Amino acid sequence: MNWYLAVLKNYAGFSGRARRKEYWMFTLINFVISLVLTIIGSAIGVEFISYIYSVAVIIPALAVAVRRLHDTGRSGWWLLIALVPLVGAIVLIVFLASEGKPETNEHGVNPKLSPQAV
């Protein structure tokens, strides 16, 4: 949960680097919360609850994805590859799952080596 909250605290931070763990823990918790809200919304007949949550976390989700791409040495513009039919999303998942560059790059120092507040 700390990784999820750390991403929300840095909700509009598109600069810097994000570790794989930070990105994937945020994605997992985000998925679980969306699933629970969808189930609750369906049970009480109010489906828009999950839509409101999705709109609320879209900027933090984009920001952590951009920082994750920065960690792999890529620009945040690589997110747009997901718009390519069939293979785009697969390529993006591979990029997001790849290990980050161990050396300092133009986006900052390796987040594994820098002290964590989490």
For the stretch 27-53, pLDDT in tens is: 999 999 999 999 999 999 888 899 999
Q: pTM of this prediction?
A: 0.85
CA distances from 97 to 6, 41, 68 (A): 19, 32, 9
Nearest CA to 18 out of 72, 82, 94, 79 is that of: 72
Tell me how far apart the alpha carbons of residues 4 and 44 are, in angstroms, rounded to a whole number: 27
The band of 118, judged by pLDDT with boundaries at 50, 70 and 90, is very low
Q: What is the SS3 assignment for 15-74?
A: CCCCCHHHHHHHHHHHHHHHHHHHHHHHHHCCCHHHHHHHHHCHHHHHHHHHHHHHHCCC
